[in-house]
Structure 1
Amino acid sequence: MTTPAAPTPEPKAEPVQPAAPGTPRTARSWLRDHSELGVSILLLALGVLVLTDALTMNVDITQRGPVGPKTVPVVVGIGLLIVAALLAVDVLRGGRGQAETGEDVDLGEPADWRTVLLLSGVFLGSAVLIEPLGFPAAGALLFWGAAYALGSRRVDRDPLIAAVLSLAAYALFDKLLGVPLPGGPLMGVL
């Protein structure tokens, strides 16, 4: 009869020693650890821009009620500054945002640059064509081009839907809300 061998003791894990106090950390590693400060700086700059623009706005003295045209931009600018400060404090105290989990996005896949370039081209093209063609025609091209860039290939249905959406948006903004949009040569016919 053999006796079971005694279990071998597991080696003890060595504790990780922090860097010596005199060891300098590189600026690059500090910035990598605190990269979310970039968002805080962006929010700070945006808040300063909004507040500067709001406070230098020329407004008629006659205003009805306590809320004038400067109120909302000032509140938004102050809110941006507060959020920037709170985010910076959180990051400097060691807070970190959660990593992107991407519910239905495969983060290992490269970006679809073809779609991005098509959408950019359609957007810039509609911006250039809005003055000579008018909003209804340029808007229809924008809606149809965006649908095509995002994968729809229904040439029997998409142009019709784009035209209806564009005309509805034109009627809503130009006729009902009083926001002047260029009608173009087609609006003279209709």
Structure 2
Amino acid sequence: MSTSESTAARPGLRERLRGRSELGVSALLLALGLLVLGDVITMNTDFTQRGPVGPKTVPTVVGVALLVVAVLLAIDVLRGGRGEAEGGEDVDLDRPGDWRTVALLVGVFLGNAVLIQPLGFPISGALLFWGSAFALGSRAYHRDPLIAAGLSVVTFFVFDTLLGTPLPGGPLMEVL
């Protein structure tokens, strides 16, 4: 048997993984579990413990559970198991994803992360809400910015004033 015949007889990695996208979810759960357990190991516990359950207990349980679920999911998928399609969704699973929308949303979120400190949450939040609405298909150019600005200011005051979670106010709060 020649090399080309043996290669043709054996499917490649891509062909073996086709239809097993749940392995990506398994890998994500595994990475998340390892991240949580890594944080538990480096957790600073320089405070007094009250009761039998310490501050590392819950994150350890969550991290181990993530690892167990990741392994069980991978085993199930490799044995031929497959998740059921969502019955209530009106989605054509054969069509490719809308990567333009995903890219726009990623850009809006990254823009918010960059702009929140210099502009403050009221302005960067308004850009975040308006940009998300635009990326998801809304084209109400007169209404969307007003709703985004109102939503951002209300969110800022709820977190900053009512919940006591300080958000950067930026130049807008310096004026007020």
Structure 1 segments (4+ residues) deviating >6 Å: none
> Are 1:45 and 2:62 matched, yes or no?
no
d(CA) in 2 for partners of 1:126 and 1:88?
A: 36
> Are 1:143 and 2:129 matched, yes or no?
yes
Counterpart residue number, 2:139: 153
Counterpart residue number, 2:40: 54
Amino acid at match of 1:132: P
CA deviation string 1:58-101 (max 9, x = no partner): 12232334444433322210110121232233234442333567
3-state DSSP class of the match of 2:151? helix
1:44-123 equivalent positions in 2, closer than 5 A: 44-98=30-84, 103-123=89-109
Contact 1:137–1:166 under 8 Å retained in 2: yes
Contact 1:55–1:74 under 8 Å retained in 2: no
Deviation at 1:180, TM superposition (A): 2.3
CA deviation string 1:105-162 (max 9, x = no partner): 2334443333223222222222211111101110011101111222222233222211
Contact 1:126–1:139 under 8 Å retained in 2: yes
Give the alignment's Cα RMSD to 1 decimal. Answer: 2.7
Amino acid at match of 2:38: T
Larger helix share, 1 or 2: 2
- Under a length normalisation based on structure 1, what TM-score does the superposition of the two structures give? 0.72
Count matched residues.
Answer: 167
The 1:157/1:110 distance shift into structure 2, 3 A limit, reads same
d(CA) in 1 for partners of 2:137 and 2:46?
A: 49
Identical columns (%): 72
